[in-house]
Amino acid sequence: MALLGSLSWLAANQEEVNRLNVFPVPDGDTGTNMLLTLQSAVEDIKDSPATDVGRIARIAAHGSLMGARGNSGVILSQIFRGFAKAVEGKTELAPAELAAAFEEAANAAYRAVLKPTEGTILTVAREAGRAAAAAAAHPHATSTGVIKAAAEGARKAVEKTPSQLQILRDAGVVDAGGFGLQIMIEGMLKSVEESDVDISKITIARPAAQSALELPEEGWGYCTEFLIAGEDLDVDRIRDQIAALGDSVLVVGDRDLVKVHVHTDDPPRVIGLASQHGRLDKLNVGDMSTQHRRILEESQTNGAEPAAAAGPDRQRANQVGIVAVVSGDGLVDIFKGLGVDAIVGGGQTKNPSTGDLVSAVDALPYDEVILLPNNKNVVLAAREVDKLASKQVHLVETHSMPQGIAAVIAFNGDRPAAANAAAMKAAAGHVQTIEVTRAVRDTRSSGLRVKKGDVIALVNDRLDTTGDDYTQVVADALGKLGPDAYELVTVYRGAEAGDQEVDALSRSLKERFPGLEVEVQAGGQDHYPFILSVE
């Protein structure tokens, strides 16, 4: 059964097809949708005793319509439908009849779509049909030859899709649905011919195409799909009504059963309207902007080119902004990721001015702003900001990056500014900070004698421990804090810390304090190879 070949070949290439999906909106499931649609057709065939091609094709058409998912799945079901119509009543197919069925399959697919677009699965279906017809015209044509020609026609058409659609060109990919169809026809050929097709063309990993596209402001709406079961359904009328409520509209079926697929911003209206025609079944509503965002984030965590990152939600319920003084790439990312609206660079050696802080505060679209200096040398400048800024400023006097991070974590977007400031201050107070560096001069402090170049640890701004070795000094400082009272140590690794030093430190902490969890983060800060947060 040739369709089984299509199914297994498509299953093997499902992810590959998924990754290509950019049109009409990036919802990332073309391969899965086509596979499930095809699977539904194949299962119905397996359950049926039919042996003649006409009846099998009709069962496949019905099964695929019931199982159709997504744009591509619905079009695929129409391809089956056209094929079935062409072979109705036949028990076997001559090459010319097979080619005609391929052509009718494409025609049916075109008819199902409101606004046919070239460079999609439609074009591929049509070109496959044309190639099949040309092959069938040969005097010694065989069925295998016709399928082979169709596969070849499909492949060529797929290759050309980027020249027909800007969105494919921009993303540097071929059309996913068309590619899925090509794979199906190739699978058919494989099973008929039992020979190897050239798979090198389709196993090359392409970057997930969605990353290159930006999410439009209004999002993509909801992908809404369902079946309407009823009597005497008017497909055209239903299509017209649905078309007014969204785009990518597909309404297909017969008088008893209609499949609807639409991208709409108002699924309840679509559902309400459709339910007037008949009973709804297999209702499925998906938020496409969420699907798209998910793909972007997966692609980023996979180390691909970062793309249009979803910015934090700027419109908070409490209308309170946060400004923090931070230096170091990693720390800046951490603060931003936690919801800080503006970062003022600087810290230990490059203290920002009051003016810098005032400009940052005034630039935020909020009337109240929480300010985190994150360094004791910045606290004074920060105290002046409230008088100078046009906003009401709530200063939370954090003295270190760990305190600042603890404070930001305690921020809650639903709570008023003053309550937040109080909670943030309390949270900052629960964190112990250990800052580790080398002494820049000889000194005496807190009863300790320090020589230039010694490793020193400051615990909550106070010189605490000295030594020659980072690992030893940190472990000693932590030991003095009394590690039993804490559960987590976060090590923020500075720009000057080497990989070996980081590994040695984290290993020795885990060995010496087995009750503590140790997490290493890239801080990227200057001057302090290690900053530790103990909580």
Partner 1 sequence: MVPLKVLFGNESFRDGVDLDSDQFFNRLAQSSNLPTTSAPSPGDFAAVYERLARECAGVISIHIGSQLSATAESARVGAQSVAGLPVHVIDSRSVTMTIAFLCLVAAQSPSLAEAVQRVEERIPKQRVIALLDTLRYIEMGGRVNRATAMIGTMLDLKPLLGVAAGDIKPLDRVRTRGRAVPRMVELLREDYPLEHVAVMHAQAPDEAEKVAAEVRLELEKEGVEVVTGQIGAVLGTHTGPKALGFAYLKR
CB atoms within 10 A of CB 280: 15
- Smallest distance, partner 1 to C-beta of residue 35, A: 7
- Smallest distance, partner 1 to C-beta of residue 315, A: 10
Looking only at the bridges linking them, the beta strands covering 530-534 and 222-229 are unpaired
| Residue 130 or 293 having the CB closest to partner 1 | 293
| Residue 201 or 282 having the CB closest to partner 1 | 282
- Smallest distance, partner 1 to C-beta of residue 226, A: 9
- Smallest distance, partner 1 to C-beta of residue 335, A: 8
CA distance 57 to 85: 8
CA distance 308 to 515: 41
- Smallest distance, partner 1 to C-beta of residue 300, A: 9
Rounded CA Rg of the chain: 32
Looking only at the bridges linking them, the beta strands covering 462-467 and 246-253 are unpaired
| Residue 28 or 145 having the CB closest to partner 1 | 28
| Residue 442 or 519 having the CB closest to partner 1 | 519
| Residue 89 or 515 having the CB closest to partner 1 | 515
| Residue 456 or 489 having the CB closest to partner 1 | 489
Torsion of CA 101, 105, 111, 116, to 10 degrees: -130
- Smallest distance, partner 1 to C-beta of residue 40, A: 10
Q: Which tokens go with 79?
A: 């391809």
| Residue 338 or 463 having the CB closest to partner 1 | 338
CA distance 505 to 125: 61
CB atoms within 10 A of CB 230: 18
Q: Which residues bind partner 1 (CB under 8 A)?
A: 32, 35-36, 39, 271, 275, 279-285, 287, 290-291, 293-294, 297, 301, 310-313, 330, 333-334, 336-339, 405-406, 409, 411-414, 487-488, 490, 517, 519, 521-522, 535
| Residue 71 or 291 having the CB closest to partner 1 | 291
Nearest to residue 170, comparing CAs of 209, 215, 202, 208?
Answer: 209
Would the CA dihedral through 336, 342, 345, 351 be positive or negative?
negative
Quickly list DSSP for 50-112: --SHHHHHHHHHHHHHHH--HHHHHHHHHHHHHHHHHTTT-SS--HHHHHHHHHHHHHHHHHH
- Smallest distance, partner 1 to C-beta of residue 339, A: 4
- Smallest distance, partner 1 to C-beta of residue 227, A: 10
Looking only at the bridges linking them, the beta strands covering 432-438 and 530-534 are antiparallel
